[in-house]
Amino acid sequence: MMIAGGGALFCAVTLSACGENSHAGKVAQWLKGYYAENPPNGNWVAREVRAESGKKIIVDVLIPSQQQVDQIKKLSRMEQFTVAKLACPKNGVEIQKAYREGITVWIQLNAKSEALTRSICPHR
């Protein structure tokens, strides 16, 4: 499922101080650069990438289009989880290494004023 959007937006990503020195913190730092070059789903904004509770990374994603937000709200929970996975990092050496080490990446989709859904990225 692909939700179309118009134009690329500037991707501002910050790294939380929580866990910066852990391996998950290093992976979060790598993801920060990844999302700066590869905005999630083309026009969504990765607002924050943070390591939480040891081996969990949260990517906080803003969906700036109200039309897309409205479409997502009409979907079932399972379909919303699938849409959230559109923001997962693409398969590659760095992310595979993180997955092998037990690190999980979670995507939190947000509208401007509310959280929409949260889903874990699949280990490929």
> Mind listing the pLDDT tens digit for each residue in 10-57?
233 333 334 444 789 899 999 999 999 999 988 899 999 999 877 999
User: 0.85 exceeded by the pTM?
Assistant: no
Supply angle C-alpha 87, 46, 5, rounded to 5: 65
Q: In 3D, which of 24, 16, 31 has the Cα closest to residue 87?
A: 31
